[in-house]
Amino acid sequence: MKADYTNKRIITVATTGAWPTKEHNPNLPLTPEEVAEEVYRCWKAGAAVAHIHVRDEEGRPTMRFDRFEETVRLIRAHEDCDIVINLTTAGAPNVPDEDRIRHLYELHPDMASFDCGSLNMQHAFIADNAPAFLEKLGYAMQEANVKTEIEVFDIGMIHDAIYYLKKGVLKAPPHFQLVMGATGGIPATVENLCIMLRNLPEGATWGAFGVGRQSVPIMLAAMALGGHIRVGMEDNVMLEKGVLATSNAQFVERAKKMLESAGLQAATPAEAREILGIG
Ligand code: ZN
């Protein structure tokens, strides 16, 4: 008999991302050592999935293989830590396709992000996910046996994902991460979240998060609507108005408490693997 996961919610922690700097929050983990230690602390606090970006020696976003390799190695060096490893494939602009794919084959993460379309980010640059690249990425994820986290920034991207599912570029059942409130993407409101949910294909699992000050309202709405949640400094560096987070684990602890006060539970990494069909 299949276990009942109705009340279990996956907490993903996104510790670093590509854009925040130590000026935004001096506690932001940047080096492989800092990211790995932060992931370990977050796992202890109740996170089941770690969404990972890496930076270069100057703290700039990069897709350099050696930085991923070192970060993943240091996380796995904690033998008790079974957190689900989710690597970005979109960690820096203007990167050759190969650098966005190589780590999937060589580091065998459980999961990786698939940004299902391009976007004018922060009124400044293009998050470039051209159709030819997405096809390559989708097939590579299947070949490398990596679970796809389909990140969508607007409703249209959900329908592109449905197209890729029909075409075989993406494998069912799909898991969606609904990214809300990024510039160029769908505004982070509960109404918009409900509209996005109505557009998801049958059998999909999903999580959602809002960027910046919308992070807590969207987290509460996702909890109420049956979705998984994501916290961390990639999305928001402030614990509350005027208060910088001292660590990513602080966000995880708070999210876990919020789940529990709603009669829900944080899924363990093993439960997250079951829910997502990993392994
Ligand atoms: Zn990311």
Q: What is the pLDDT of residues 14-29, one digit of tens each?
A: 999 999 999 999 999 9
Output the CA 16–ligand 1 centroid distance in Å: 8
Output the CA 169–ligand 1 centroid distance in Å: 21
pLDDT(1) > 80: no
| Residue 206 structure tokens | 């999903």
Report the C-alpha gap between 80 and 209 in whole angstroms: 28
Stretch 57-78: mean pLDDT: 98
Output the CA 14–ligand 1 centroid distance in Å: 7
Output the CA 199–ligand 1 centroid distance in Å: 23
pTM equals 0.97
pLDDT(74) > 60: yes
Sequence-distant (≥ 6) Cβ neighbours of residue 193 within 8 angstroms: 178, 180, 208, 218, 221, 222, 225
DSSP string, 44-101: HHT--EEEE-EE-TTS-EE--HHHHHHHHHHHHTSTT--PEEEE-S-SSSS--GGGGT
Stretch 69-75: mean pLDDT: 98
Q: Read off the pLDDT of residues 169-202 as tens digits, 9 standing for 90 and up.
A: 999 999 999 999 999 999 999 999 999 999 999 9
Report the C-alpha gap between 174 and 49 in whole angstroms: 17
DSSP 110: S
Q: Read off the pLDDT of residues 37-54 as tens digits, 9 standing for 90 and up.
A: 999 999 999 999 999 999
Confidence of residue 35 (pLDDT cuts 50, 70, 90): very high
Confidence of residue 279 (pLDDT cuts 50, 70, 90): confident
Q: Is the dihedral of CA 220, 224, 225, 230 positive or negative?
A: positive
Output the CA 112–ligand 1 centroid distance in Å: 10
Report the C-alpha gap between 196 and 194 in whole angstroms: 5
